[in-house]
Structure 1
Amino acid sequence: MDAQTVLVVEDEILIRFILADSLRDIGYQVLEAADGDEGLHILNSMQVVDLIVTDVRMPGDVDGMELTQRSKSLAPGRPVIVCSAHLYKSEAFPADEFLAKPYSIAALAETIERLIGDPWQKSSQAHSA
């Protein structure tokens, strides 16, 4: 059985690297996207994505909130965590969770586990795009 897959969408390369590396260390499979356009391309590619972690403000045509909305239209049960220093939790709908930047890897890992379980626990929900 494969580990659950998390899509990390973050335009700051160092932040994306730290997030992806930390989540891999925990046991998740990680896909990385440098912006919302690339994230949407991954979702449309039919790769299995169990959960999305996305920044809000990114270059390109698709920001984190639009990516969240498009993800929900493709797979309503797939959880999305929106992370931002420029947004309030009340503005993060339809995201499942909101983390204000800066946040700790422990807080992110706890949020992911609450939403989809540990890396090897497969959800009964259909999360593929």
Structure 2
Amino acid sequence: MTDTPQQPLLIVEDEMFIRMIAADALEDRGFSIIEAGDAREALEILERSSEIALIFTDINMPGDLDGLDLAEEVTKRWPHIEIIVTSGGVRLDSAEVPDSGKFLPKPYATDQLVKLVQEQLARRDAGSPTDHR
């Protein structure tokens, strides 16, 4: 795929099987994937790597931060990163996702995920410079 970004995507999901399915679907389309099992692990990864292009995070996760908390923190600290949140228990309108992010309800088809990732990255690339700092 010629338009695949060089920057990796971060998948944040505590259910390993669901995380693996999403990662495999995106890797099959040529994306580089980094995985995290919760929001704290995701923040540690983000602090070490400023190269992440997009995070795809579940809302409901164990620990003191959920996916929406993570999305808020990413918006504050790394505004150049695109955000997609998902949940099977919570329903949001995409307008409720920080930083013009998108909401993808579970269960989702992997083709829906891939399409939404491609749309978010295309929006970012067409919009403004990738580094807003």
| Alignment TM-score > 0.5, same fold | yes
Residue 74 of structure 1: how far off its partner (Å): 1.1
State the partner residue of 1:88. 91
2:55 aligns with one of 52, 57, 60: 52
Match of 1:120 in 2: none
Taking the aligned partners of 1:124 and 1:26, their CA distance within structure 2 comes to 24
- Give the counterpart of 2:109 among 95, 100, 104: 104
Higher helix share: 2
Between the two proteins, the alignment pairs up a number of residues equal to 124
Name the structure, 1 or 2, with higher relative contact order (CA <8 Å, separation 6+). Answer: 1
Change (3 A) 1:92 1:86: farther
User: Partner of 1:89: helix, strand, or coil?
Assistant: coil
Identify which of 47, 57, 67 aligns with 1:64: 67
TM-score by length of 2: 0.83
Hey, what does 2:131 align to over in structure 1? 126
Worse overlay, 80-89 or 51-60: 80-89
Change (3 A) 1:127 1:102: farther
Q: Distance in 1 between matches of 2:57 and 2:86?
A: 6
Give structure 1 stretches of 5+ with no counterpart: 118-122
CA deviation digits over 1:21-79, x for unaligned, max 9?
11111001100001111011111113410000000111112210110001001122311
Question: How many Å separate the matches in 2 of 1:98 and 1:80?
Answer: 9
AA partner of residue 94 (structure 1): P
**Alpha-carbon contact 2:53-2:80 (below 8 Å) kept:** no
Amino-acid identity (%): 37
Aligned to 1:116: 121
Q: 1:108 to 1:99 in 2, by over 3 A?
A: same
**Counterpart of 2:35?**
32
- Aligned-partner Cα distance in 2 for 1:28–1:127: 23
